[in-house]
Amino acid sequence: METDRPDGHQSESQKNPMFQIFFILLEVTIVILYGIFVEFHYDPVDPNLPWTEEPQTEFVTGYPVLQDISVMMFVGFGFLMTFLRTHSWSAVGFNFILTVVVFQMYILYSGFWSRCVSDDHWDLKIQVGIETLVTAFYCCASILISFGGVIGKLNLFQLLVMAFIEACFYSLNEAIVFEKIHIEDIGGSITIHTFGAYFGLSVAFIISPKQTKGHPKNSSNYNSNLFAMIGTLFLWMYWPSFNCFLALNPEDRIRSVINTLLALTGSTTAVFITSSFFKKGKLNMEDVLNATLAGGVCVGSSADQIVYPFAALFVGYFAGFISCIGFERLSGFLQRKVGLYDTCGINNLHGMPGVFGGIFSAIFIGALTEDTLGFRVEDRFEGRTASEQGGLQMAGLGITLGIAIVTGIITGCILKLGCFKGPTDLFEDQVFWEME
């Protein structure tokens, strides 16, 4: 089981005990901080007392949705990135460990920043319930999006450090835009997709070595694309769960589900049409694997705000169309002209659709009236008018972009430090995995 392959790749990380020291210190810190600061939202209850309604409702409305979102993280993102034919193990394996570590860290980060931003609740411990788990997975999603931009070009040490920094600023940004600015962003077009994409692109811009260009291993094969399709489909199918969890009431949840499904059908059809134009009648698997999901990204900020089904369809068509153009043309352009190497095309799938999702949310919310809603718009937005809330959406988008790009560039510079010993061989599993 431990026979070396004849071409004997040297392990990068084996020369680097700093990786293990960092990881152990991180975990020791986490368990200590959990011991001091984290408790359960619900304490045990005397089984002889009658049940209370609240945790039952939390379980039945929250748990199935949580599980869908969990599948999106591990199988969805993990397998989507297996398309790299010599990097599939790292795709799914690094995705696994990054999700797990970010999940652990987010609970601490978010508790901290939330108290900083609101300057309150310092006397209370961080309480973990179903919603905490879901928001932790939202943070994982953002970091996994960034991972998609740099996959194949960083080793696990660098990825963990990136996640360590990014999760911190993700949580800070989240606290600012939700608790200070009060934006609406149920499915995270702004806070999750835009943040993750532009953080990841900033890192990728800094760290991508020259040999990334036209690298022969930056490619897929027949089976690796089939594995990737597993990821795509689970992301597609469970996206309504991702976009509906934070809804205020069941009516909004159901509308979020339907709007997300409709937007996804829109982007999927748009991609099949657009891809067949670019490929002269054939289809491009890269488009189908990725751009079909753009509708879910783009409708994320407004899934609970859209009051006409056709509008969700339209958002989907638009997102699928621009995302597909991104994969077919923009990615190549950015590589040639800017030197931006974006392994999975996260600018096309999460970046542009996320930004447009934020803009759409400003438009849709700005256009809400008492007529369309059936009640005063101010009742929905804690006293703010539709146009005020629309403006806040744009402010939230701008702040998110700013924080993501600045912290991403800084992170990229840190990761280029010699102490990380980045991989010499790109897009190659044998550097990281014992091959039999």
Binding residues for a copy of itself, how many (CB under 8 A)? 132
To the nearest whole angstrom, how small is the minimum distance from the Cβ of residue 290 to a copy of itself?
13
**Which of 114, 171, 212, 292 is in the footprint of a copy of itself by CB under 8 A?**
292
What is the footprint of a copy of itself within residues 27-46 (CB under 8 A)? 27, 30-32, 34-35, 38-46
To the nearest whole angstrom, how small is the minimum distance from the Cβ of residue 406 to a copy of itself?
29
- Beta-carbon contacts of 237 under 8 Å, excluding residues fewer than 6 positions away, are none
Residues, the chain: 436
The C-alpha atoms of residue 405 and residue 315 are separated, in whole angstroms, by: 26
Going from the C-alpha of 293 to that of each of 85, 105, 320, 402, the distances in angstroms are 22, 28, 7, 25
**Which of 103, 147, 169, 321 is in the footprint of a copy of itself by CB under 8 A?**
103
Residue with Cβ nearer a copy of itself (100 or 124): 100
Site string for a copy of itself, 133-172 (x = CB under 8 A): x----------------------x----------------
To the nearest whole angstrom, how small is the minimum distance from the Cβ of residue 387 to a copy of itself?
18
The C-alpha atoms of residue 299 and residue 260 are separated, in whole angstroms, by: 6
CB under 8 Å, gap of 24 or more: what pairs does 396-399 form? 396/177, 396/181, 396/183, 396/185, 396/190, 396/191, 396/358, 397/190, 397/194, 397/355, 397/358, 397/359, 397/362, 399/173, 399/176, 399/177, 399/181
Selected range binding a copy of itself among 127-135, 168-176, 187-195, 398-406, rule: CB under 8 A: 127-135
**Which of 284, 301, 348, 411 is in the footprint of a copy of itself by CB under 8 A?**
284
To the nearest whole angstrom, how small is the minimum distance from the Cβ of residue 388 to a copy of itself?
17
**DSSP symbol at 82:** G
Q: Does 55 bind a copy of itself (CB under 8 A)?
A: yes
**DSSP symbol at 248:** S
Q: Does 318 bind a copy of itself (CB under 8 A)?
A: no
The angle, 0 to 180 degrees and rounded to 10, between the axes of the packed helices 88-118 and 130-150 is: 130
The angle, 0 to 180 degrees and rounded to 10, between the axes of the packed helices 386-415 and 195-207 is: 30
**Torsion of Cα atoms, 49 then 51 then 54 then 57, to 10°:** 160
To the nearest whole angstrom, how small is the minimum distance from the Cβ of residue 351 to a copy of itself?
20
Name the phi and psi angles at 106, rounded to 5: -55, -40
- Other CB atoms within 10 A of residue 115 CB: 16
To the nearest whole angstrom, how small is the minimum distance from the Cβ of residue 409 to a copy of itself?
28
What is the footprint of a copy of itself within residues 206-225 (CB under 8 A)? 219-223, 225
Residue with Cβ nearer a copy of itself (89 or 406): 89
Going from the C-alpha of 290 to that of each of 39, 135, 183, 287, 325, the distances in angstroms are 39, 23, 27, 5, 12
Q: Does 230 bind a copy of itself (CB under 8 A)?
A: yes
The C-alpha atoms of residue 415 and residue 16 are separated, in whole angstroms, by: 14
Residue with Cβ nearer a copy of itself (49 or 419): 49
Residue with Cβ nearer a copy of itself (169 or 234): 234
Helix (H) or strand (E) holding 232: helix 222-244
To the nearest whole angstrom, how small is the minimum distance from the Cβ of residue 405 to a copy of itself?
28
Radius of gyration of the chain (CA): 22
Site string for a copy of itself, 244-283 (x = CB under 8 A): ----xxxxxxxx-xx--xx-xxx-xxx-xx--xx-xxxxx
Selected range binding a copy of itself among 167-175, 180-188, 402-410, 428-436, rule: CB under 8 A: 428-436
To the nearest whole angstrom, how small is the minimum distance from the Cβ of residue 362 to a copy of itself?
18
> Using alpha carbons only, what angle is made at residue 299 by residues 316 and 295, rounded to the nearest 5 degrees?
35
Greatest CA separation found in the chain?
A: 72
Residue with Cβ nearer a copy of itself (312 or 404): 312
Tell which residue, 131, 130, 133, 127, has the closest CA to residue 111.
Answer: 127
Residue with Cβ nearer a copy of itself (252 or 406): 252
Q: Does 321 bind a copy of itself (CB under 8 A)?
A: no
The C-alpha atoms of residue 296 and residue 275 are separated, in whole angstroms, by: 19
- Beta-carbon contacts of 264 under 8 Å, excluding residues fewer than 6 positions away, are 236, 239, 292, 293, 295, 296, 316
Site string for a copy of itself, 372-411 (x = CB under 8 A): -xxxx--xx-------------------------------
Selected range binding a copy of itself among 84-92, 164-172, 180-188, 205-213, rule: CB under 8 A: 84-92
To the nearest whole angstrom, how small is the minimum distance from the Cβ of residue 414 to a copy of itself?
21
Residue with Cβ nearer a copy of itself (399 or 426): 426
Tokens found for residue 187: 């499915």
To the nearest whole angstrom, how small is the minimum distance from the Cβ of residue 22 to a copy of itself?
10
To the nearest whole angstrom, how small is the minimum distance from the Cβ of residue 245 to a copy of itself?
11
Q: Does 67 bind a copy of itself (CB under 8 A)?
A: yes
